[in-house]
Amino acid sequence: MRGILNGTTNFILSEMEAGKSYADALAQAQSLGYAEADPTADVEGIDALAKVLIIANTVMGCALTKDEISCRGIAHLTADDISAAKAAGKRWKLIGHVKKAGGQTTASVQPVLLPLSDPLAQVMGTTNAVTYRTDLLGDVTLIGAGAGGIETAAGLLADILAIGD
């Protein structure tokens, strides 16, 4: 599994690619309600790490702890990094990744330079996406809403209803 698991960071990277500085893109994300007043959990990858942990342990049957997942956010990416990627026909995305092979599980959250031909590279704005590599179907990518008040409320409601089951 690999995916864009944080709509706020995806929005910031999309805005930076459109020419905004990191600070301006973050300020816009905050003004639109996508980022918290303290955006650390988003921009340092902590929110995506939590989602990687949930997917790994719940969906993929792993037994990881947060300390076993390497994590690096997007705050260090500069306008020059974004421009260089664009010139090379690539795009930066904060990617959560889990791989099971040979009885070993590895997981990470980090900015990854993707070729534009990668389906995840085409996911812009606050949208999230996950690609699952399957044994029978190959890669299957799911794309849906990410950051925002309605999206967060819908997720919370689903969690509350699941607790009642």
For residue 95, what is the enclosing H or E element? Answer: strand 90-101
For residue 92, what is the enclosing H or E element? Answer: strand 90-101
Instruction: Work out the burial of residue 10: count CB atoms within 10 Å of its CB; fewer than 13 is exposed, 13-18 middle, 19 or more buried.
Output: buried
Report CA 136 to chain centroid distance, whole Å.
25
What's the one-letter identity of residue 82? I
> What does the alpha-carbon distance between residue 30 and residue 51 come to, in Å, rounded to a whole number?
21
Which one from 20, 51, 99, 100 is the annotated catalytic residue? Answer: 51
> What does the alpha-carbon distance between residue 52 and residue 88 come to, in Å, rounded to a whole number?
29
Residues in the chain: 165
For residue 51, indicate whether it is catalytic: yes
Nearest residue to 30 (alpha-carbon basis) of 51, 47, 9: 9
Residue in the block written with tokens 């993707």: 114
Q: Which residues are catalytic, by number? A: 51
